[in-house]
Structures are given as structure tokens and as C-alpha cells.
Chains A and B, each alone.
Chain A
Amino acid sequence: MAASYNFKKITVVPSATDFVDIVLSKTQRKTPTVIHKQYAIARIRQFYMRKVRYTQQNYHDKLSQILDDFPKLEDIHPFYADLMNVLYDKDHYKLALGQINMARHLIDNVAKDYVRLLKYGDSLYRCKTLKRAALGRMCTVMKRQKQSLEYLEQVRQHLSRLPTIDPNTRTLLICGFPNVGKSSFINTITRADVEVQPYAFTTKSLYVGHTDYRYLRWQVIDTPGILDHSLEERNTIEMQAITALAHLRAAVLYVMDISEQCGHNLHQQVELFNNIKPLFANKPLMIVTNKIDVIRREELSEENEACDQLLAYRVENKMRSKKVNSVLNRLHLSVPQQRDEKVRPPCIPEAVLQRKAAMDTDKPKKKTERDLELELEEDYVFDMKKRYDLKNAEDKYDPIPELWEGKNVADYIDADIMKKLEDLEKEEEMREAAGEYDSDMSDEDEETREIRSMAAKIRKKKKLIKMESDVRRKVQKPTLPRVARKDYNASEFKSQMEELGVDMADKDNAHFKRARSKTPTGLKRKREASTEAGSRARSRSVPAGKVPRDQSGIRDPQTQQKVKVIAKNAQKKMNQFGKAGESDRFIGTKMPKHLFAGKRKQGKTQRR
């Protein structure tokens, strides 16, 4: 099975120098490049063998690609084979491809040999030179293919531009002398845009157009003109036409120019026709007379009536190739059989008929507002409301209320609104009767009110207490003990109790403090003695029996004197610096200048 070729997808054939550049640069990029002579010899050999093999592989691949892509003339349709022969010369083509093949073979051999030699290279330098030689030889082989590569590139370019003629589909082939009007014909039938000029051989190659007939696609092929001489004398252009004629199974339109504007008289054209008759074997043939606008058939002189086969030219060709015939045989239009005499005409809707009738008759025109305006001139008032279609005509000019209290009146419009309203009213009455709307008086009696007021007072009092305690607690001052507080005395107590409603009028001699003191009685005797002296003066702030701080722990007045002196001395420094107490660590100046500036008398100033 021959591989399918796509003439447009043949790989680009680079020129010889380009080819060499591509492959060598690829080798350089894709193989390791670093090698030193102190490496193990096996490694060095491996390194260079790799390069040689890589280059060989690349050449092989690229050349194989070229050889595969170019079509083999034996494998393609004979039409194309012949066409290529006509255009590119079969021998040259085959030769070029053969050269490429040979080159590939040679490169492979070179690589094989040098790899074998590299196996015995004993130094880096030797391996390197061997690799150089190998690559050099491969490249020389490629450089010698310069001509073939150029030729193949040109073939490729031209091949990709050939029109895609499908040799197997329905085709019409137009042939005839040069300048008879073949290209004009194809231009009219198809969307092809072939150049039409007054000189001969305007069309130099085959052109394809496509047209539709009977829901099928037809290829129409325009050929260059054929002159009347023998096959050997034909040039490349004519040969293309001949090739097409010879190989394509198409319907042939042989175009004749009756007006002889092409430069050849009818006789010559008939001669040509007879000469290429063998090419028309087995093909439906139609002879087309062209340029009948210039001269009509009847005006032809008698000597030219020798052509029996002249037919008139029609736009719709009744082309019948064998394929279409076979299709026609299988097609059949079926009509339902008449089962009774009832006539079944086509169905047209009433409205359509009416409209048709309306369109035909000339109705009297309605009087428009404009007419009225013109009539009344100054008195005319544009009154939109006069055409309103309401039940009562008087309602037309009513001012319609639209809003009420921010609500749209139109939202309430209802046919049975009154009935609904009645129902609603009834419901409302029932609700009122049931006592839904009665206000709840139970919570308004004396007792509840009293309770509420008392609860309010309680809450207020609570808040006050809370606020006071908050204030007291948040202050960070040293706190006095409770008994020393200002509001902790008898008169305060009395007033508070009176607020709460207790009668304190006759309570003058009441003893509001504790009967007995809390302080423990087991104290040292000496302390008791000393405290007795001082305790009379301190009746409130210090509980009885408690020793003042500056006298506690001192046995006799002499030590007390000493203690006093010591205490005063300790206080001196603090007082001098204005400190509040021993815990006051305030520093007046953090950086006194004499310590942080200036030179030193002796020693270093590294740190201050």
C-alpha cells in the first residue's frame, strides 16, 4: 500500500550549507562539550564516539525525512505522475532523489568506520582528530549534494502550489485552441478567477474551479490551449493539457470559436479536434461553440457546415457521466394515490385571504386629526380623552385621583371591593366583641404601681452603692482602715438609719461601737507598760495595746535615742535629693555632662 502523500506537507529541503550548519550546531548543543585530557581514556573515547554517532544520526534522519516526503512517481496517480514528469522531468527527479539516498548511505559508512577507529584511540588528541575527520567527511558528502538539494527545494515549492485536482471525482475538462474562451467560461461558472487576456497562452497551467449541479460538486478544469502539431513537438504547457486529457476520466468540453477571433479558422479547429480524438475515447464529449454573440450560427458559410457535431451552447450542461446516471436510476418521486374524487386544494388561512382582499379594495380614508386641525385652524384643541372607550361617556373627562396618603388608588381597585370591605368590617366587629382590643388594665392598680416604684428606688440605690464602691476601689491611694473613715461615725449612722425609715430620735446615749475590742490580750508586759502611756492619747487610730512603729522593738530610751539618730541620718540623703521615700528612684539628669563629655585626665574614653 503506497503511503499517502500530501504535496503541501513536504519538509523544507535546506540548501547544502544550511544543512551542514544545522546538523553541526545541533551536535554542538546537544552533546556534552567539556572534556579534559586527564579523564579516563574510555571516557574520552565514549565522548567522541557519541559526537560522531550523533551527527550521523541527524543526517540520516533528515535525509530519510526528505526521501519519504517526496512522492514516488510509481505510487501516485498516473495523472500526477505524468504531470510531474511534464513539469519536472521524471529522470531528473529520480536522479536527485537517488543522489540523496546515496549521500545518506555514504554518511552512514563514514560514521561506522570512524567509530571503529575511535575504539582504539589512545589519547585525547587522537580521538579529537578522528572525530574532526569523521564530521568533516560527512559534511563534505553533504556539500556535494548542493545541486540536488536546490532542485528538490524548487520541486517542493512548485508541487505545493499545484491545484488540488481529485482524479476520481466528477470532472469537466475544458480544452480547445488558445484564446477561444475557456478561461472566461470557467470564470463564469465557478468562483475561480483565471486571468483572461487577448493574447494566446494566457493560461499556462491547469486551473480548477468547483461548481454545483444537481446537488453535487463538480470539478471544472481549465487547460492551456492546444495547438495542432504532433506530440513530440508539444511544449510543456500544452503537455499539461494533454496529460489532463489523457488521464482524467472527465467529461470533455471541446470549445470552438466560431467567430475565429482566436486566430484560427473553423477548419483548423476541426482538424485539431480530429487529431486529438483518440484522447476522447471513453469520455462523454460535448462540442461547444463559443462567442456566438459575435457571429450566429446561421450566418456561417456553407463550407463550414462540415461539422455535423455542432451543438448550441447552453448554460445548464446536461452532463451525464456514468455516475450520475446510476444515481438517477435509484431516485423516484412518489405521489400519493388518489383514493377518491375529493379535491384537496392547498390550505390557505382565512386571515391571509382577508388581508389579501383588504389590500385589493380601495377603502374610503378615515378622517385624521391633521385634517381636523386644518379645518378648525385656531379653534383646534388636541383632546386625547375624546377617544376614550369607557362604559359611561361622561366619565371620560373626570380627573382621576391617583394617590392618597402615599398609596396608589389603583392598587385597591377591585370588582368586589365593597363585598370584601363588608366581610372585613364584620370580622372587625367580632374581634372587638371578643375583647381583642381591650387594653389590659390589670397592671395599673395601686399595688402594682407601688411595687414598681419601690423596685425603681431599689435599683437606683443599688446603682449608687455600686458607683460609690467603684470609686473607692479604683483609687490607688493608701487606704485608711475602715474605722478611720470620715463617714464611719455615730452621726452618720444615725442619718443613714433615718433615711431607711427608722426613728433615731431618742438614741443619744446609745453605744454604737463594739463593746469589747478585738485585740488579743496576751502581750508582753513591757510593751503593755509602754503602750499604756501612749494609748490614752491614741484612742481612735491605734487600737489599745498596739505599739507605735517607732517604739516597737526598743527596750529603753537610750536605744531609742540612737535609733532616732540613725533614722534621721538615713533620711538625710533622701531629703537632700528631694525624694519622697526610699522607694523613690527618680533621677534628675540621666546624662550629666561632666560624665559624658570632655577628655579624661587619665585613662581611656572608650566607654562612658
Chain B
Amino acid sequence: MRVELNCPSRNRRIHTHTIFRFCRSKCHRAFKKKRNPRKVRWTKAFRKAAGKDLAVDASLEFEKRRNVPAKYNREQWKDTIKAMKRVEDIKSKRQAQFILNRLKKGKELQKEADIREVKQNISLIKSPAACTQKLEEKMAQVIQESDQEMAAE
């Protein structure tokens, strides 16, 4: 049996006999409402088209629908299964990295925002008076220590 997922929101397959199958009723209902998958944000079609997911990569070329079935050859199938597992690993790694790279920019912006926030509104949690107090104390301590040293000498 062959798993044919032609949920247009997950994985679009173009058929000449136009039978569509869906993974769940959410996709089916969206299809019936004639929604364009390229505009519905949670679909793979949107994500790939908008550059949110890895779309062009060597590891993605391995899984492809072949219209001409190949005759069974034990060696070939063994190799294929091994290769498949490895390819999947690499693919998931690369996809994850792609998304991470995309989100890096956000992290930087967040950092900058934090610094700005702290600079502007530090007085809400730490009074400047406290800082000066501490400074005075420190100075007092230093003076004391220096006095003691002087005395010791």
C-alpha cells in the first residue's frame, strides 16, 4: 500500500484525475471553503512560499514521486532504507537550523530592547539614591581601610 498524502495544505500533489485526500478535517474544510493554501498561514505551502521553512535544499531532493516504478532489487532497497534514515536526519537538522537562523535576528532585537529599557527606566527598580548611598558607603569603607593601613604602618 502506498501512502498518498495529497492534503493540499500539507503537501500539494497535482493529479490529472483530481482526487484530493486530506490528513484531517481541518484541511478538508479549508479546502471546501476554497481557501488558497498559499495564503493560509499554517500550511506548508504558505511557509515554503513565504520563506519560513527550508524549501530549496539537496536533502529535500531525495524524496520524490517517481512515475516509473522500478523493479524490486534487494540490494537497492537495503541501500535505500539506510540512506533514507541518514537523509532524514540531515534534513531535519538543516530545517531546524534554517529556522534558528531566521529567529536569530529576533534575539538580537530583543537584546537591544532590553538594554534600552534598562537604560531608560532603571529608576523604577533601583533608585539612584541607592547607588549613591552604596558609593558613599564604599568610599567610607575605603577611607576606613586606608586609615587602618595608615595606622598599621
Do the beta carbons of B77 and A401 come within 8 Å of each other?
Answer: yes
- Cα–Cα, bound, A421→B87 (Å): 7
- Cα–Cα, bound, A503→B133 (Å): 8
A462 interface contact, C-beta 8 A: yes
Do the beta carbons of B83 and A412 come within 8 Å of each other?
Answer: yes
Contacts A407-B63, A409-B77; A497 near B121 (Cβ below 8 A)? no
A169 interface contact, C-beta 8 A: no
Partner of B114, one of A401, A409, A455: A455
Do the beta carbons of B58 and A427 come within 8 Å of each other?
Answer: yes
Contacts A452-B114, A454-B125, A500-B125; A410 near B130 (Cβ below 8 A)? no
A315 interface contact, C-beta 8 A: no
Contacts A401-B81, A436-B97, A451-B115; A502 near B125 (Cβ below 8 A)? no
A/B interface sample: 21 pairs, CB < 8 A:
A398-B74, A400-B72, A401-B81, A402-B1, A410-B2, A411-B63, A412-B80, A415-B70, A415-B76, A418-B79, A421-B83, A421-B86, A425-B86, A427-B58, A443-B111, A454-B125, A455-B114, A458-B121, A462-B121, A500-B129, A501-B130
- Chain A interface bracket (under 10, 10 to 19, 20 to 34, 35 or more): 35 or more
B104 interface contact, C-beta 8 A: yes
Listed residue (A390, A401, A501) with the most chain B CB atoms within 10 angstroms of its CB: A501
Partner of B117, one of A392, A440, A455: A455
**What is A's interface to B at a CB cutoff of 8 Å?**
388-392, 394-395, 398, 400-415, 417-418, 420-421, 423-425, 427-428, 436-437, 440, 443, 448, 451-452, 454-455, 457-459, 461-462, 465, 497, 500-503
Pairs of residues from A and B, 4 with the lowest C-beta to C-beta distance, nearest first: A501-B130, A500-B127, A455-B114, A502-B129
Besides A443-B107, A451-B118, A502-B127, 14 more A-B contacts (Cβ < 8 Å) are A390-B72, A392-B73, A400-B72, A404-B84, A408-B2, A409-B81, A412-B84, A418-B79, A425-B86, A437-B97, A452-B111, A454-B114, A454-B118, A497-B127
Contacts of B2 in A (CB 8 A): 402, 408, 410
Listed residue (B59, B61, B71, B72) with the most chain A CB atoms within 10 angstroms of its CB: B72
- Cα–Cα, bound, A437→B114 (Å): 26
In the complex, the chain A residue whose C-beta lies closest to that of B64 is A411
Shortest Cβ distance from residue B60 to the other chain A in the assembled complex, whole angstroms: 11
Contacts of A417 in B (CB 8 A): 62, 76, 79-80, 83
Mark interface residues in B112-151 (1 if CB within 8 Å of A CB, else 0).
Answer: 0111011001111111011001000000000000000000
- Cα–Cα, bound, A108→B106 (Å): 105
Contacts of B85 in A (CB 8 A): 404
Do the beta carbons of B124 and A461 come within 8 Å of each other?
Answer: yes
Do the beta carbons of A448 and B111 come within 8 Å of each other?
Answer: yes
- Cα–Cα, bound, A427→B27 (Å): 36
In the complex, the chain A residue whose C-beta lies closest to that of B120 is A458
- Chain B interface bracket (under 10, 10 to 19, 20 to 34, 35 or more): 35 or more
B32 interface contact, C-beta 8 A: no
Contacts A455-B114, A503-B133; A410 near B74 (Cβ below 8 A)? no
Do the beta carbons of B73 and A395 come within 8 Å of each other?
Answer: yes
- Cα–Cα, bound, A465→B58 (Å): 54
B41-85 contacts to A, CB under 8 A, are: 58-59, 61-66, 69-74, 76-77, 79-81, 83-85
- Cα–Cα, bound, A451→B118 (Å): 7
Contacts of B66 in A (CB 8 A): 410-411, 413
Listed residue (A398, A407, A421, A423) with the most chain B CB atoms within 10 angstroms of its CB: A421
Partner of A500, one of B1, B79, B87, B126: B126
Shortest Cβ distance from residue A28 to the other chain B in the assembled complex, whole angstroms: 63
Contacts of A436 in B (CB 8 A): 97
**What is B's interface to A at a CB cutoff of 8 Å?**
1-3, 58-59, 61-66, 69-74, 76-77, 79-81, 83-88, 90, 93, 97, 104, 107, 111, 113-115, 117-118, 121-127, 129-130, 133
- Cα–Cα, bound, A425→B93 (Å): 12
- Cα–Cα, bound, A403→B104 (Å): 36
Do the beta carbons of A451 and B114 come within 8 Å of each other?
Answer: yes
Contacts of B114 in A (CB 8 A): 451-452, 454-455
Do the beta carbons of B127 and A501 come within 8 Å of each other?
Answer: yes
Contacts of A390 in B (CB 8 A): 71-73
Contacts A391-B71, A451-B115; A413 near B125 (Cβ below 8 A)? no
Partner of B59, one of A394, A400, A424, A501: A424
Contacts of B121 in A (CB 8 A): 458, 462
- Cα–Cα, bound, A389→B65 (Å): 23
Contacts of A409 in B (CB 8 A): 77, 80-81, 84
Contacts A440-B104, A458-B121, A458-B122; A412 near B87 (Cβ below 8 A)? yes
Shortest Cβ distance from residue B2 to the other chain A in the assembled complex, whole angstroms: 6
Shortest Cβ distance from residue A387 to the other chain B in the assembled complex, whole angstroms: 13
Do the beta carbons of B88 and A405 come within 8 Å of each other?
Answer: yes
Contacts of A458 in B (CB 8 A): 117-118, 121-122, 124-125
Do the beta carbons of B117 and A407 come within 8 Å of each other?
Answer: no
Contacts of A411 in B (CB 8 A): 63-66
- Cα–Cα, bound, A405→B81 (Å): 11
Shortest Cβ distance from residue A286 to the other chain B in the assembled complex, whole angstroms: 66
Listed residue (A413, A458, A500, A503) with the most chain B CB atoms within 10 angstroms of its CB: A413
- Cα–Cα, bound, A502→B90 (Å): 56
- Cα–Cα, bound, A411→B107 (Å): 38
Contacts of B69 in A (CB 8 A): 410
Contacts of B80 in A (CB 8 A): 409, 412-414, 417
Contacts of B117 in A (CB 8 A): 455, 458-459
Shortest Cβ distance from residue B44 to the other chain A in the assembled complex, whole angstroms: 14
Shortest Cβ distance from residue B152 to the other chain A in the assembled complex, whole angstroms: 29
Contacts of A418 in B (CB 8 A): 79, 83
In the complex, the chain A residue whose C-beta lies closest to that of B137 is A503
Contacts of B1 in A (CB 8 A): 402-403
Shortest Cβ distance from residue B64 to the other chain A in the assembled complex, whole angstroms: 6
